[in-house]
Amino acid sequence: MSTPPSNMLSRSSSSSKSIDNDHLDISTLATQIEHLERRLTPIIGNPSQDSDVKKRPKPSGSLTMRKGAINLPISSTQPAVDLTSEETRAKYQEIVQNSGLFYINGERQLIEQKDIVKIGLLGVGSCGEVFKMEHKPSKMTLAMKVMSRTVSDEDNKRIIMDLDVLDKSHNFPHIVRCIGYFIRQTEVWIGMELMACCFDKLLKLIKQPIPESILGKLTYSTVTALNYLKEKQGVMHRDVKPSNILIDENGNIKLCDFGISGVLVESKAKSRKAGCAAYMAPERIGPSVADKPNYDIRADIWSLGIALIELATNAHPYANCQTDFDVMSRIVTEEPPQLPADLSFSDDFRSFVNNCLIKDYQQRPKYGPLMSHPFFVQSTEQPVDVAECAAFFIQTRSENARCFIETLSSTFSSELVVRWKKQRVGHDSTIKIC
């Protein structure tokens, strides 16, 4: 792969310039290459498919004990927000009263759900689906998280936590902005600003490590957001991972998805449920805390460290694990993962990741020391054009895909290629952007 021009990795504030949307638009390029690769796979297979599968542990629906395995208290992925049923219902009723209030072009107004139309699917998660939608009267586009709900307190707790954090963080620059929401009997729609891509998707698109300079900006934004949640709202995220760290078309990096955030009491989490096993800190797994959770915001710091290794190497440190149980067994019994010694990373970056992944959470630094770490300070000050650099790598992938089509045309009969293009790409020789 060609190397990005040096001016993509840094620029002074005085020389800031807009991105050429015809060539370096992140969301357009991401959509183009992703849909193209989906179409290629059923026909010829994906050469990198097997290796991609091994890069992150596979989730499992049910976990069973194996002979010789240690006995771990398995954490549920259901949320456990620390509110009584009475508190939940009261807070929920308060939130319901604001249903339908949206920020439309900077002004908060009551809108009707029928005026919101779906444009396309952006992603699918454990809690629901996210669609690109448009408010027809204003022509404003937004991302809409659509979640099914019941009358259970657990559903209400998740909704309350997600909406409460988003509402209080409306103007915080490193948290995805909530535009408004609809609460109905069977569904909840949460409208958010439209972002270009999450880092999990970006990694899959470019199929190579994310540059350290971009990871520095990710670190700055994520730690700043987590510290804000702790200091201003008294909550910890509990689900820090690449798919919950997003980038917009201007290169701004923001944290999202607060449905399983936990309330802190005297800086400690009161419950141990929720979260993705592949990024879970050891103190959230050990038998000694099965009945009496005693972890704090440093569990999110561990999760960030795992995410940084995955993004920096294009491989999850607990690859090849078949179940959540396998992952948690390794987290508890093995030494913390580190960045590979044979790869070129700065000493400051290695030190920062190692600090995030200190196994004893009482020795692991909190946000204050992390924000004073040389890597964090340098990342704060260093000018990096995140949007242009990310789009460059996606564009390179797109160009490689176009080259593949040209190779296909010269290898197979013209009749086959024409039929393939009509079925998989479009009715002409250009690649369609879906």
Find the Cα–Cα–Cα–Cα dihedral 109, 152, 245, 362, rounded to 10°: 130
Of 153, 162, 200, 239, the catalytic one is: 239
Q: What is the pLDDT confidence band of residue 8, given thresholds at 50, 70 and 90?
A: very low
Share of the chain above pLDDT 70, in %: 62
Q: How far is C-alpha 77 from the chain's CA centre?
A: 17
pLDDT in tens, 280-320: 888 888 665 445 556 788 989 999 999 999 999 999 999 88
- The confidence score (pLDDT) of residue 221 equals 96
How buried is residue 402: exposed, middle or buried, by Cβ count under 10 Å (0-12/13-18/19+)? Answer: middle
pLDDT in tens, 34-61: 555 454 443 333 333 344 434 566 544 3
Distance CA 405, CA 411 (A): 10
- The confidence score (pLDDT) of residue 399 equals 61
Read off the pLDDT of each residue in 338-350 and give the average, rounded to a whole number.
Answer: 96
pLDDT in tens, 175-185: 998 899 998 88
pLDDT in tens, 53-105: 345 665 443 333 333 333 443 333 333 334 566 776 777 777 888 899 999 98
**Where do we find the tokens 């300079």?**
213
- The confidence score (pLDDT) of residue 320 equals 84
β-sheet bridge partners, residue 130: 123, 145
SS3 404: helix
pLDDT in tens, 180-221: 999 888 888 999 999 888 899 888 888 889 999 999 999 999
- The confidence score (pLDDT) of residue 15 equals 37
β-sheet bridge partners, residue 255: 175, 245
pLDDT in tens, 146-165: 988 776 666 667 777 777 77
- The confidence score (pLDDT) of residue 122 equals 87
pTM of the model: 0.72
SS3 37: helix
Other beta carbons within 10 Å of 204: 19
Where do the domains of the chain lie, and which CATH numbers do they carry? 6-47+387-425 (no CATH), 85-192 (3.30.200.20), 197-384 (1.10.510.10)
How buried is residue 89: exposed, middle or buried, by Cβ count under 10 Å (0-12/13-18/19+)? Answer: middle
- The confidence score (pLDDT) of residue 356 equals 97
Distance CA 371, CA 269 (A): 22
Q: What is the pLDDT confidence band of residue 256, given thresholds at 50, 70 and 90?
A: confident
Q: Is 348 a catalytic residue?
A: no
